[in-house]
Amino acid sequence: MSTLIGALRAERIKFTTLPSQWAAPLTALVLTVGITAAVNAAYGAKDHTPGEDPAGGIYYGLLFGHVAVACFGVLLIGQEFNTRMIGGSLTAVPRRSRLYSAKLVLGAGLGLLLGLASTAGSFLAVDAVGGVDLSTPGLSRSFLAGVLYHPMMVLICLGLTTMLGNFSAALGLLTPMVFLGTTWLAAIPGVREVGQFLPDRAGLHAMRTQPEPGVHYGHWTGLLIMALWTALASYGGLRAMRRYEASGS
């Protein structure tokens, strides 16, 4: 595979032929849209938003679905570390940066598609129950943040998994942290001041249409914070992959 296109084609084939890889984003889509639809249907048309912020009802399912999004990011490279197939991948694509870049491009592209499907599906689910007022201030920005949250979460988890170089460690650390860890941190006085700058908290804040008590930055800044985490994790993964080349292991 002498070009990035060739490496990307190989990664696409892996994705389409390994059930564990395509099952994760599919699960994320089903959880996000399905739970959002179920919760809003339970609340009914008269009170279809479980919370003061209208975006709370739209993104309720994402609180569960983003765990599967994180798993997808881990699986993109973690499985190869776990099965030692990373050696075969490096044989096919000797340039480590090219292999890693192909995984980044695939993860970002699939994450973006997943974000569009999940966010649009959630909006439609809420609209079917009680309607969505598209004139609500900040709602278009919220939609954009909801779409971009998915590829950024995928790339963060991909980068951190590459840095750890271990599938079990990445899965055991990242998925509980995304599902429960930062929520617990946000509930601890004092620690909340730091926890609000973690990527998932910043990304979720960017989806809100109203200010969140105790958060000291705006919605667009929240999206920027998550983007910075994405850049740092992606670069850290690249450095780790290059060190892997140097170690020859």
Kindly state the percentage of the chain with pLDDT values over 90: 46
In 3D space, the residue among 53, 30, 65 whose CA is nearest the CA of residue 205 turns out to be: 53
Indicate the residue type of 199.
P
The string of pLDDT tens digits covering residues 4-58 is: 888 899 888 888 888 888 899 999 999 999 999 998 888 765 555 555 677 888 9
The string of pLDDT tens digits covering residues 204-216 is: 999 999 888 778 8
CA 96 to chain centre: 24
Instruction: Read off the pLDDT of each residue in 234-240 and give the average, rounded to a whole number.
Output: 95
What pTM was computed for the model? 0.89
Q: When comparing pLDDT for 83 and 99, which is higher?
A: 99
Indicate the residue type of 198.
L
CA 108 to chain centre: 10
Look at 53-57, 188-192, 210-214, 236-240 and tell me which has the smallest mean pLDDT.
188-192
